[in-house]
Structure 1
Amino acid sequence: MAMTLATAAPAPLAAAEKPGIVLVHGAVMDGSTWRPVHDRLAGEGYRVSIVQMPLTGFDKDVAATKRVLAMQDRPVVLVGHSYGGAVISVAGADPNVKALVYVAAFQPDAGESIAALNARFPMASHIKDVGGGYMIVEPTALHNDVAADLSEADAAFLAAAQTATAVSSFGAVLPAAAWRHKPSYGIVATQDRTVSADLQRFMFERSYFRTAVAARALGNGMTGAAARPRSTNLAFSTRSLARDAVGVL
């Protein structure tokens, strides 16, 4: 099945009519990784909010996302990257969320966890246990695995700025999956080194039969979990998908 679907560009909307767009980051990083996407969307008049998850547990990350959703005064497109995809699959049940966008992200079903999905499509990982039930990406591996599209200096900064993430979050079993009931869109990063591209395709193909999925394959230097929103190509594609999702509102 072809993974790229043609979608009609939504008609331009006045700023007052445009939906809110809420961006959810992945593990070990923070909301600042969404800066290029934020700037592009805000520059077009969208109201953009960025969740800062504590990464201290899956339920707490979902709660942080719900708090941001509760502040919205208009329909919302909810966007998640990597681990953030699991978070939006639960938080996206909010009735104000009208569409979901998965950016090289996990899209578990009800009763599944990220760990269970990874076991089906295993990849080598460079995770460092920092004690207390928390992990980061091994700093010496981050440039290659997470930030290959960045300069060495920028990757070194990201490695130093990592937020230790609760290991238990990856084993959390989802109670429900909002993508089963709402239109969802996705980006497949074909050279991802932390979320298997085969797993991404499996998840998006699975949801295709129930939702309006437009999965776009990205292989142009998109590497690993840091096919991060910092990448110009990924920023542009995330922006495009978020704008496509506006057409379902």
Structure 2
Amino acid sequence: MTMMRLLASALFVLSVSGPASADGPASAGASNVVLVHGGSTDGSGWKDVFHILRAKGLAVTVVALPHTSLEDDIAATRLAIDVQSGPTVLVGHSYGGAVITEAGVAPNVKALVYVAALQPDKGESLAEISSRFPMGIDSKMLDDERFVPSPASYHEMIGADLPRDITDFMAASAKPMRVDTFQMRFQNAAWHDKPSFGIVTTEDKVLSPDFLRWMYQRTDTKVTEVKSSHMVYMSHPQETADVILEAANSVK
């Protein structure tokens, strides 16, 4: 990761974390939450969850993944984790679940939350794990290396329970991802040693409910099911925040 991208990530982290709200500290054992968005999106979708958690007294950081490589996405998340003071809950949506699986080995991360998220094991690639239950998403190739979700099917496939004007904007502003991201094998799987909580989105057309249940079952993840599209943290922010708060409260 270049120095410029590290600096940009650091500035973003500092701009959104800050002190906890004036409502007083949460009763949770973890004082910090780090939120990681999914592939081709950005951190702005966490806004409602951010405010709910802040109101409970938690310090919240939203990571901006550069999507220049899997390693760079993991590095940006590790940077956010490193600046936390105290026990931290690490949260990932979709592709962000793969990122937190690797970055979550940091000692101050005490619990993981998978929000309709990929959950690879050590030695696996995303291409390998998703071949068991093919991901239901249409892609538009931008060149030989990078792609975005197809704008034509974005609303129906990714966020059918969100207003169309929101998904239209998300499609228009989608951040390109690299194809080789899905070929790289993971060196660590933090869920082996950290308690995990997961949301199964029962109306999900990107990661099927059966795929999510299969991953969560093999990792002994505590499951909450929500009737939602893939973008559950945007369409159901309270239910998503409740799972994160449960994880925070579980920390001893």
TM range, smaller chain: 0.7 to 0.9
Give deviations 1:158-216, integer Å, cap 9, x for gaps: 111110111111222111100001100000011111112111101110011xxxx3201
Structure 1 letter corresponding to 2:229: T
**Residue by residue, what CA displacement relative to the aligned partner does 1:123-144 show, whole Å, maximum 9, x if unpaired?**
4431111114111000111111
Listed as ranges, the gaps of 5+ residues in structure 1 are 1-12
Identify which of structures 1 and 2 has the higher relative contact order when contacts are C-alpha pairs closer than 8 Å and 6+ apart.
1
Match of 1:105 among 101, 106, 117: 117
- Corresponding position: 1:159 with 2:165: no
Residue 230 of structure 1 aligns with an amino acid whose one-letter code is: M
Aligned pair partner of 2:74 in 46, 62, 78: 62
**Residue correspondences, number:** 228
The 4+ residue runs of structure 1 with deviation greater than 4 A are: 15-18
1:207 matched to which residue of 2?
219
Alignment of 1:45-56 (within 5 A): 45-56=57-68
Matches within 5 A, 1:137-152: 137-152=149-164
Q: Normalising by the residue count of structure 1, what TM-score does the alignment of the two structures yield?
A: 0.87
Choose from 240, 246, 249 the match for 1:238.
Answer: 240
What is the DSSP-based 3-state SS (H/G/I as helix, E as strand, rest coil) of the residue aligned with 1:110?
coil
8 Å contact 1:24–1:79 — kept in the other structure? yes
RMSD between superposed Cα atoms in Å? 1.7
Asked if the contact 2:136/2:207 (under 8 Å) is kept, the reply is: no
Cα 1:127/1:88, change in 2 over 3 Å = same
Name stretches of at least 5 consecutive residues in structure 2 with no aligned partner. 1-23
CA deviations on 1:87-132 (whole Å, 9 max, x unpaired) are: 0000000000000000000000001121111111124431111114
CA shift, 1:53, in A, is: 0.3
- Looking at structure 1, the residues matched to 76 and 144 of structure 2 have their Cα atoms a distance apart, in angstroms, of 22
Q: Equivalent residues in 2 for 1:33-44 (5 A)?
A: 33-44=45-56
The farther-off stretch of 96-105 and 127-136 is 127-136
1:184-195 matches, cutoff 5 A:
184-195=196-207
Deviation at 1:248, TM superposition (A): 2.2
Amino acid at match of 2:223: A
The Cα shift of 1:156 comes to: 0.9
Q: Alpha carbons of 1:18 and 1:203: their partners in 2 closer, same or farther (altered >3 Å)? A: closer
Q: TM-score, with normalisation over the residues of structure 2? A: 0.86
Aligned residues with identical type, % of pairs: 40
